[in-house]
Amino acid sequence: MIVAIDGPAGSGKTTIAKLLSKKLNISYLDTGATYRALTLKALEGGIDLKDASLLAQLAANLNLKLDGQKTYLDGKDVSEEIRTPLIDKNISIIVAHPKVRSVMVSLQRAVAKGKDFVVEGRDITTVVFPNAEFKFYLDADSAIRAERRFRELEAKGMKIDFTETEKDLRKRDDADKKREVGALTLSSDATYIDTTKMSIEEVINTMVAYIENRKNNK
């Protein structure tokens, strides 16, 4: 069983996906973490982020391990490092390359093959797992999403500016929706949930109720 979740940054999908996987007692896969790890590797290696071929080669040889909610790159836990503003500012360049996305999608499918997973990202319901049993699209007002992102970074002790955070989020939204391959879009068969005025618990309960209802009516 694959529960696929898409949505823009700050919509709550990462937090919700993690908790939903625990609620359903199945594994969790954050596809964004795979791209973030690749971005980190490229930046550390001084690679030109516009060189699609070189990045695709780097992706194909990426020493990446996903262990629950932890991400390991070359044996090092980079779970926190890949969530910094530096990665936020550069990841859109990398994910826009079709060659890179092709390699990463294959990696993501291989991780979840034959298993039960809650998978979240931006093209999960449309590209990575278009035949997923359950599809959701989480969204929220842009101002609320920027505030959530700001609080998340602030809680980690990072000195950030709210205006800059909001600007980065708008830039990321635009890039995600306009990229040539794997663009963020609402799949026609995905259940849309606006999380703006909902608590995390309310969102999860809504999703669980939908999944159980679908299973009971099969």
Give pLDDT tens digits for 105-138: 999 999 899 999 999 988 999 999 999 999 999 9
Tokens standing for residue 203: 């969102």
Query: Residue 191: its pLDDT value, please?
Result: 96
More confident residue, 57 or 218: 57
* Per-residue DSSP letter, 181: S
- Report the distance separating Cα 95 and Cα 211, nearest Å: 30
Domain spanning 2-216: which superfamily? Answer: P-loop containing nucleotide triphosphate hydrolases (3.40.50.300)
List all residues 6 or more positions away from 156 whose beta carbon is below 8 Å from its beta carbon.
80, 83
Segments making up each domain of the chain, as ranges: 2-216
Query: Residue 155: its pLDDT value, please?
Result: 84
57 CB neighbour count, 10 Å cutoff:
15
- Report the distance separating Cα 118 and Cα 137, nearest Å: 13
pLDDT band at 78 (very low <50, low <70, confident <90, very high): very high
User: CA dist 13 to 215, 216, 217, Å?
Assistant: 22, 25, 26
pLDDT band at 75 (very low <50, low <70, confident <90, very high): very high
Mean pLDDT of 68-79: 91
